[in-house]
Structure 1
Amino acid sequence: MQLLAYILIYPFLWLISILPFRLLYAFSDGLYVLIYYIIGYRKKTVKENLNLVFPNKSEAEIKVIRKQFYHHLCDMVVEAIKSLTITEKQMMKRMTFPNIEEVNQYGKSNKSIVLMCAHYGSWEWIFILQNHVNHKGYAVYKKLENKYFDKLVKRIRAKYNSHLITTKETFSTLLRAKNKGELTINGFVSDQSPKPWKAHHWLDFMGINVPAHTGAELLAKQLDMAVVYFAVKRIKRGYYETTFTTLAKNPNDFKDYEITDAFFKLVEKQIHEAPQYYLWTHKRWKHRDKSPEDFK
């Protein structure tokens, strides 16, 4: 069944991916009408999240953000599909890194890097970063249920010397790399909502008490990696700029969870500046206003 789904869907995705960008974004506009007005994909969740974190905004303001978000979401979908056939030249033009020296300084000091980011902006073309650094790239991801599409996604990322690894594979993979003397740059999307009974740390995120993943900070301390936050900013449709901010050169100099707290403060800053580019369909605040004791 998985193979049949792949055989039926892949040609359609490939045809979309070869569209010139003007037609690609016209397709995205049509997809927006389908997802927002007809299907209503997670509209209730998006509205609840926006009302929750922006209690002082009017209903009209929330509606504007909601529509802008769905337009951006559809753009991300078609940009992910475009990754099938986009050229390296096109990607380098559309995803730029104005302060890449913030990352490359760690290559000069022979240090590997934990890259922390949020579900903000666009992360589909971030893999072109490998053209600008000497570190070997890894990204922690959730394995797709369909093994054929999972292999496809891995193959696309591998074109740019980036390799996808699951959470279970992360420590052993990066420990082997460290023991071999390899420099690695390792991407973590760190704003997900963990299972509350497994969470080691709770914090204030957008004014709400929530559990937080701390795996990126823990790994950085265990393997003595610098911790860098990357922020993706949309410049215009189909063009993004990624900037880097060091959270910790020597993570073991920081108290537990200080790095994680600093990461979430930077995510908050991005959201307040342009809330339409955050992934509001994610149920980030479903365990809000609880505490670890509530789940014991």
Structure 2
Amino acid sequence: MQRLVYLVVFPVLWGISKLPFRFIYLLSDGLFLIVYSLVRYRRKVVRENLQLVFPEKSEKERSKIERAFYLHMCDMFLEMVKTLGISAEELQKRFVFTNLETFRNFEANNKSTVTFFPHYASWEWTIALDPYIRSKGYGVYQRLNNRYFDRWVRRVRARLGTTLITTAESWKVMAKNKADGVLATYGMLSDQSPTRKKARYWAPFMGIEVPMHVGAETLCKKFDLPALYLKVRKLKRGHYQGTFIVLAEKPQEVPEYEITDAFFREVETAIKEAPEYYFWTHKRWKHRDGGPNARLQVN
């Protein structure tokens, strides 16, 4: 069944990837109407999340953010598909970096790094970094249920040099690279919600106490890898800008959980600047505590 779904869907995705960007965004406008107005994909979750973290905003203001988010989500989905057919040159025009020297300084000192990402703006096109650096690039991800699409996603990321590894594989890969003297950079999406059972650390996020994933910080400390945050701004449709911010240059000297706290402070700043680019369909606050900050229960 997985193979059949792949054989049916892949030709459509391949065809979309060959379209010029002006048609990609016309298609995104149509997809937005279907997803937002007809399917109403996770609108209840999005609405409750926005009400939870922005209680001071009016319903009209939250509704505006909601619609803008869904349009961005459709854009990003089709941009991900477009990655299959985009050239390295085109991608580098559409995702620019403001301070590559910050990253290259670590390379010059033969230091591998971990870059923290949230589900904000575009994390898919951060592979535009690969041609600029000499580190071997790794993206840590969750394996897809459909093994055929999982293989396809790996191939797409590998076009510019990024190797995808699962969360379970990351420890072994980092240990081997360190032992072999491989200069590497690891990109990790670190704003997901862990289960209560696996939660080791709780802290405020957008003013609400929630469990935090601390795996990226743990790896930084274990392998003495400087921690960076890539702040991504959406300049306009199909154009993004990335700026590196150093969270910890010497992670083993930083108190426990301070790197995680610094990361989430940066994520909060980005959300407050342009909330429509955060992925509100995620149930990020579902495991919050029952204290005074629990303003609304998200199902």
Normalised to the residue count of structure 2, the TM-score between the two structures is 0.96
* Cross-structure match for 2:90: 90
Q: Which residue number corresponds to residue 73 of structure 1?
A: 73
TM-superposed CA distance for 1:288, in Å, is: 1.1
Residues 83 and 42 of structure 1: CA distance in aligned 2, closer, same or farther (over 3 Å)? same
Residue type of the partner of 1:174?
M
1-structure distance, mates of 2:28, 2:179: 45
* Amino acid paired to 2:235: I
Counterpart in the other structure of 2:114:
114
1:289 Cα offset (Å): 2.1
Deviation at residue 89 of structure 1 after TM alignment: 1.1
Q: Compute the displacement of 1:290 (Å).
A: 4.6
- What per-residue deviation string (whole Å, max 9, x for no partner) do you get for residues 13-32 of structure 1? 11111111001100000000
Q: Secondary structure at the match of 2:124?
A: coil
Task: Report whether the alignment pairs 1:270 with 2:270.
Answer: yes
Equivalent position amino acid for 1:215 in 2? G
Offset of residue 2 of structure 1:
1.1
Count of matched residue positions in the alignment of Structure 1 and Structure 2? 291
Equivalent pair of 1:234/1:240 in contact (CA under 8 Å):
yes
| 1:208-287 mapped onto 2 (5 Å cutoff) | 208-287=208-287
Deviations 1:180-236 (A, max 9, x none): 000110011000000112111000000000000000000000000000000110011
| Partner in structure 1 of residue 294 of structure 2 | none
> 1:46 is matched by which residue type in structure 2?
V
Secondary structure at the counterpart of residue 245 of structure 2: strand
Q: Deviations over 1:47-67 (max 9, x none)?
A: 000000000000000000000
Q: How far is the alpha carbon of 1:128 from its aligned partner?
A: 1.5
* Matched-pair contact (CA < 8 Å) for 1:111–1:225: yes
1:181-220 counterparts in 2 under 5 A? 181-220=181-220
Structure-2 separation of matches of 1:181 and 1:18: 39
Percent identity reads: 49
Runs of 5+ in structure 1 lacking a partner?
Answer: 292-296
Distance 2:172 2:124 in 1: 26
Q: Which amino acid in the other structure matches residue 41 of structure 2?
A: Y
When structure 1 is superposed on structure 2, of 46-55 and 155-164 the one drifting more is 155-164
For 2:72 and 2:88, the matched residues in 1 are separated by 23
Alignment-derived partner of residue 101 in structure 1: 101
Segments of structure 2 that go 5 or more residues without pairing to the other structure are 292-299
**Equivalent position SS for 1:55:** coil
Q: Deviations over 1:89-128 (max 9, x none)?
A: 1101000011011111000111110100100011111112
The one-letter amino acid paired with 1:195 is T
Q: How is 1:25-44 mapped onto 2 (pairs within 5 angstroms)?
A: 25-44=25-44
Aligned to 1:60: 60
Q: CA, structure 1 residues 256+290, in 2 after alignment: closer, same or farther (shift >3 Å)?
A: farther
Q: 2:20 maps to what in 1?
A: 20
C-alpha distance in 2, partners of 1:290/1:188? 29
Aligned to 2:296: none
Residue deviations 1:55-94, cap 9 Å, x none?
0000000000000000000000100110110111110100
TM-score, normalization by structure 1: 0.97
In structure 1, the residue matched to 2:10 is 10
